[in-house]
Amino acid sequence: VGKYKSGIKVFAPATVANMACGFDCLGFALNQPGDEIIVTLNDSRKGLKVTEITGAGGKLPYEIEKNTAAWAAHCFLESIGESDRGIDMEIHKKMPFGSGLGSSAASAVAGVFAVNALTQQHPFTKKELISFAMDGEELASGARHADNIAPCLFGGITMVRDNSTLDIHRLSTPRGLHATVIYPHVEILTKEARGMLSKEITLKQHIQQSSNMGGLIVGLYNGDFDLIGRSLQDVIIEPQRAKLIPFFYEVQEAAMKAGALGCSISGSGPSIFALSANSLIAEEAGLAMQKIFKENKIRNELYVSPINQEGVILL
């Protein structure tokens, strides 16, 4: 009784990185799924402790220096001189991991956002929390990327122009834009999905990809769905990674036939995302995509969501 009297609960959403033409730069947030973290002050001992993890099938470690959420929180607490503060952390994974939906970013963001809200001594802005969340993400993926962290923190569609200087911008979301995401139960390791990429691209590929990214951004600002549709194409990464996802091209075709503006791999996969001009098309695209996996007996999860505009929130 009274366990949560001095507690804070937060929700951090799943995110879709790359957005077809914006490899390692673009990302957007979904309303669902996401992670929940509860932190409570515990004066009976010192330091941060992970007291409970649910929804992870025993696959996540309790040690601070190995746990994405706890490590991000720890790095923050150290920086404000509060690492001795007795804090209990419960992690409730409510999204699949290794899915290409920014699961480690959601944990890292939730962890640091929660302790920032709990300690309150030096409340940091979301922008100031980015680098601590990246500490957590780095632990999980080995890379210091903000393409999932940024939309998870801020919500909306974000662009990371430069990771090292945290030159990060939120883009406009046109009215009606909806996302469909399907997660087939196949395992892809981000490290491998990155390791397999060719280090070289042709001048032609560079021109196509950067033109598409420019077109996408103009389309988002002008609410020009046709331009968004023409621009949602990945001529560099998708052709290399598609073979990791069974029936990828069939699923993509099904989404496009249902009227989606574009469809590609979410992050490093195996999830596949589509964007549509309204929720009806997004739902129809989802059913069409799901049909392919069902026919081929591949278990999957389907999510249809507007672009989440809030990012991580206190519940």
Cβ of residue 284: shortest distance to ligand HSE, in angstroms? Answer: 27
Cα–Cα dist 274/285, whole Å: 8
For ligand HSE, the closer of residues 49 and 194 by Cβ is 194
For ligand HSE, the closer of residues 50 and 149 by Cβ is 149
Cβ of residue 105: shortest distance to ligand HSE, in angstroms? Answer: 8
> Which active-site residues does the annotation give?
137, 190
For ligand HSE, the closer of residues 147 and 284 by Cβ is 147
Cβ of residue 141: shortest distance to ligand HSE, in angstroms? Answer: 6
Cα–Cα dist 172/160, whole Å: 14
Cβ of residue 280: shortest distance to ligand HSE, in angstroms? Answer: 29
Cβ of residue 40: shortest distance to ligand HSE, in angstroms? Answer: 31
For ligand HSE, the closer of residues 182 and 236 by Cβ is 236
For ligand HSE, the closer of residues 134 and 285 by Cβ is 134
Q: Please name every residue paired with 30 in a beta bridge, in sequence order, or none if there are none.
A: 307
Residues at the contact surface with ligand HSE, assessed by CB under 6 A: 17-18, 24, 145, 147-148, 190, 193-194, 267-268
